[in-house]
Structure 1
Amino acid sequence: MFLSEEDDQFELPVHETGFTRKELEELLSFLESDEPISPNSGSEGSTRAVSFLESNEPVSPNYGSEGSTRAIYSRDERKKRRMISNRESARRSRWRKRMHLENITDEVNRLSIENQQLKNRVSLVMNQYHIVWQENEQLRSESVALWGKLLDLYWTLATIQPR
């Protein structure tokens, strides 16, 4: 048969198709077979497949609901499926944590690089500031010396000129 017990760990979308599990298995077995499906064919399987596909029986929209799943599977099967589901959920959770940790690690590395670049820029600006400050101090001292010379020239000029 197409669906083995190992495949039972994955839920078929019964609630989306409106077919029962048995009907889906039968349909899939017809699709796997090499027999052509036509209403004029003499084989029993193809006639059943066509009548199955052409049937106008109403299908309940809640056929694949949780309640019907509980009726189909035994307690051990449900426990096994729940355990498999929990393992898969734990695996996805570990994967999300690992991705989150990688993202945070990448962010830390990026911010560390950016921090180092900013420190380098601050250091460069501080060096430029120190150079400009020294030039400014030199210009101030030259300015004071020039003001002193200018003041001496005014006094000399004032004493030389008659009143």
Structure 2
Amino acid sequence: MDSTKPSSRSDGDPRYAGVVDERKRKRMISNRDSARRSRMKKQQHVDGLTTQITQLQSENNLIADQINAVANMYVGLESENNVLRAQLAELTDRLRSLNSVLQIVEEVSGLAMDIPEIPDALLEPWQLPCPMQTSASMFQC
């Protein structure tokens, strides 16, 4: 072999080994920094998701509370409505009975009495354009 040719880099050359070691060291430091940044970014993402979960659970609880409040209001209104329907049925029966008595009195006495017919709107108040207001202000005409 010709000794005048420049020698190629080899593992035996201490200068080359020092350069390779320095490159490996820099690469390791760079990889560590990159891994640290990646872990920090992942932790921030997890923290953001945890915050979002907490917020959504709070919103969910608020909505569930609102649903329960409306359901309770509905039960109360339904109960009140049933009472009103029962009262309507009782008063309608009384009115019919009174009208029957008036018709009998009219026939027996021979006097003409003004006996009004029971209007359909009284028997079916839900068909009125604007029924009497209930205790709940949310059902206004």
Whether the TM-score (by the shorter chain) exceeds 0.5 is yes
SS across alignment from 1:148: helix
- Which amino acid in structure 2 is aligned with residue 75 of structure 1? D
SS across alignment from 2:8: helix
1:115 equivalent in alignment to 2:53 = yes
- Which amino acid in structure 1 is aligned with residue 45 of structure 2? E
SS across alignment from 1:78: helix
Q: Residues 78, 153 of structure 1: CA spacing in aligned structure 2 closer, same or farther, 3 A cutoff? A: same
1:71 equivalent in alignment to 2:8 = yes
What's the offset of the Cα at 1:72? Answer: 6.5
Q: Percent identity?
A: 18
SS across alignment from 1:71: coil
What is the alpha-carbon distance in structure 1 between the residues aligned to residue 79 and residue 68 of structure 2? Answer: 17
Normalising by structure 1, report the TM-score.
Answer: 0.52
Which runs of 5 or more residues in structure 1 are unaligned? 1-68
Q: Residues 70, 131 of structure 1: CA spacing in aligned structure 2 closer, same or farther, 3 A cutoff? A: farther
What's the offset of the Cα at 1:70? Answer: 7.3
- Which amino acid in structure 1 is aligned with residue 55 of structure 2? Q
What's the offset of the Cα at 1:134? Answer: 0.8
1:133 equivalent in alignment to 2:76 = no
What's the offset of the Cα at 1:95? Answer: 0.5
- Which amino acid in structure 2 is aligned with residue 143 of structure 1? N
1:95 equivalent in alignment to 2:33 = yes
Which runs of 5 or more residues in structure 2 are unaligned? 1-5, 104-141
1:159 equivalent in alignment to 2:101 = no
- Which amino acid in structure 2 is aligned with residue 155 of structure 1? D
- Which amino acid in structure 1 is aligned with residue 25 of structure 2? R
- Which amino acid in structure 2 is aligned with residue 134 of structure 1? N
What's the offset of the Cα at 1:160? Answer: 2.1
Which protein has greater RCO, CA pairs closer than 8 Å, 6+ apart?
1
How many residue pairs get aligned? The number is: 95
What's the offset of the Cα at 1:75? Answer: 2.6
What is the alpha-carbon distance in structure 2 between the residues aligned to residue 121 and residue 136 of structure 1? Answer: 22
Which residue of the partner structure matches residue 82 of structure 1? 20
What is the alpha-carbon distance in structure 2 between the residues aligned to residue 92 and residue 70 of structure 1? Answer: 31
What is the alpha-carbon distance in structure 1 between the residues aligned to residue 62 and residue 31 of structure 2? Answer: 46
Q: Residues 144, 75 of structure 1: CA spacing in aligned structure 2 closer, same or farther, 3 A cutoff? A: same
